[in-house]
Amino acid sequence: MSNLAEQIREALSMFARNGTAPALIGGLAVVAHQVVRATKDVDFLVEAEAADRVHDALLDLGYQCPYRSEDAANYVRAAEGLDLLYAHRPLARRLLAKASERETPMGRMRIISVEGLIGFKLQAFVNDATRTRDLDDIRALLKIHRASLNMDEVREYFALFNKPELLNELLG
Amino acid sequence: MNCSDNTEVNAESALNCADAPAVLAREAGVPFQPPIGSVSGIDPIAEWLSLMEVVQMLCPVWPVRDKPMQGSHWRL
């Protein structure tokens, strides 16, 4: 198994030991939703109440934490990175609660819904407009899952970030 | 079928590869879309692991995030 897979397996084990069940978000969640591309983004949505104990556990695993806020945290360990978003608002809590569980080569893990993933990708882009990769991911997810997407929910996220016209652009 | 297998190449396999643009796209490192549903038997995460093995061989040092998450629009 690759170092990347081992890193994820180790993280899943750590989450289980700490009694929390995060959901995969970010680039790897995009992969899980059928858009296979190269990424080393290991991002999880974690319940905010678990932030401190997960932080301590990651430091015990040798990670350093260059940034942490009430919304997100970045961890690095040599060439490995791991990012957390904290679910403390109702929308994120709802998305975390309804994440689906899936068997993967690294073990069972929960994965955010396509609609929720689009919402988080949009949030990342709004926070940093240089992250055009996020727009590419949203465009690909919309294209693949258009027939099954809850478009009302997707529109809700674009309205939340005052970007309703962007959704129309991405839908082409 | 894995079109990149270093096995006997014949006209039939070449034709099959030509008929499987998604697989060829994957082999080129280009994002591709496995068929949706369990019928295909393709696990996108397993495909990603396979892709990343090649990527890591070609690019052993992958830059980690060089700046912290930023922005003030945390609404989810």
pLDDT digits (tens, 9 = 90+) for A143-172: 999 999 999 999 999 999 999 999 999 998
Q: Greater confidence, B35 or B58? A: B58
The values of phi and psi at residue B67, to 5°, are -150, 150
Starting at the edge strand found earlier in the chain, the sheet holding A72-77 runs A64-68, A72-77, A80-87, A43-47, A23-25, A107-111, A100-104
| Chain segment A20-39, per-residue pLDDT in tens | 999 999 999 999 999 999 99
Chain B residues close to A76, C-beta within 8 Å: 64-65
Residue A113, pLDDT > 90, answer yes
Q: What is the pLDDT of residues A7-18, one digit of tens each?
A: 999 999 999 999
Compute the nearest-CA separation of A107 from chain B (Å).
11
What is the arithmetic mean of pLDDT over A104-133?
95
pLDDT at B68 over 80: no
Q: Are A35 and B76 in contact (CB < 8 Å)? A: no
- From the number of C-beta atoms within 10 Å of its C-beta (0-12, 13-18, 19+), residue A19 rates as exposed
Cβ(A64)–Cβ(A73) under 8 Å?
no
pTM: 0.84
Res B26 pLDDT > 90:
no
State mean pLDDT over A94-106: 96
Question: Is residue B12's pLDDT more than 90?
Answer: no
pLDDT of residue A159: 98
This model of the complex carries an ipTM of 0.87
Distance CA B8, CA A29 (A): 36
Give the per-residue pLDDT at A3. Answer: 85
Tens digit of pLDDT for each residue in A35-77?
A: 999 999 899 999 999 999 999 999 999 999 999 999 999 999 9
- Indicate whether A1 pLDDT > 80: no
Q: What is the mean pLDDT of residues B55-64?
A: 81
How buried is residue A65: exposed, middle or buried, by Cβ count under 10 Å (0-12/13-18/19+)?
A: middle
Does A112 score more than 90 pLDDT? yes
Listed range (A55-64, B26-35, B54-63) with the worst mean pLDDT: B26-35
Q: Is the confidence at residue B22, as pLDDT, over 70?
A: no
Which residues make Cβ contacts (< 8 Å) with residue A106, sequence separation at least 6?
A1, A5, A8, A9, A12, B45
Q: Which of A2, A123, A144 sits opposite B76 (nearest CB)?
A: A123
Mutate to test the interface with B, among A1, A4, A36, A64 (most CBs of B within 10 A): A36
* Per-residue confidence (pLDDT) for residue B63, from 0 to 100: 74
Beta carbons of A38 and B51 less than 8 angstroms apart: yes
Name the residue with higher pLDDT: B20 or A141: A141
Interchain pair B49, A105: CB under 8 A: yes
Residue B7 has pLDDT above 80, yes or no: no
On the question of pLDDT at B27 being above 70, the answer is no
Nearest-by-Cβ selection for B34 from A36, A91, A128: A36
**What's residue B15's pLDDT?**
42
Interacting residues of A79 by C-beta distance below 8 A, sequence separation 6+: B61, B62, B64
CA–CA dist A142, B28 (Å, integer)? 23
Question: How close, in Å, is residue A160 to chain B by CA atoms?
Answer: 7
Q: Check if the beta carbon of residue A32 is closer than 8 Å to that of residue A41.
A: no
A71 near B CB under 8 A: yes
Chain B positions in Cβ-Cβ contact with residue A74 (cut-off 8 Å): 65, 68-69
